[in-house]
Amino acid sequence: MLPELGQVALVLALLVAALQALLPLLGAWRGEPALMAVARPAAYLQLLLVGLAFVLLTHAFVTADFSVRYVAENSIRCCR
């Protein structure tokens, strides 16, 4: 469940990054300060979402959750 939550957080961070790139540019082109003001909160939200994904991946490494392929292939606890 937690690895899927991390993946959802990364997908949401990607969508926020797209909005962060497009809305302020559209606001600058149209001269609308409200759209330009979206940039800073979007950056904070993106930081939160990527940080959440990082914490969940770290949790998968600490608990040796081998259901995550990346953890199974790169964990020290795993025998090769």
Parse the chain into domains and list their residue ranges.
2-74
For the segment 48-76, what is each residue's pLDDT rounded down to a tens digit? 999 999 999 888 888 887 888 777 788 77
In this prediction the pTM is 0.83
Helix 2-30 and helix 39-62, axial crossing angle in degrees, nearest 10: 160
DSSP for 39-71?
HHHHHHHHHHHHHHHHHHHHHHHHTT-TTSHHH
- Distance between CA atoms of residues 13 and 51, nearest Å: 10
For the segment 3-51, what is each residue's pLDDT rounded down to a tens digit? 889 999 999 999 999 999 999 999 999 999 999 999 999 999 999 999 9
> Rounded to the nearest 10 degrees, how much is the dihedral formed by the CA atoms of 15, 16, 22, 28?
170
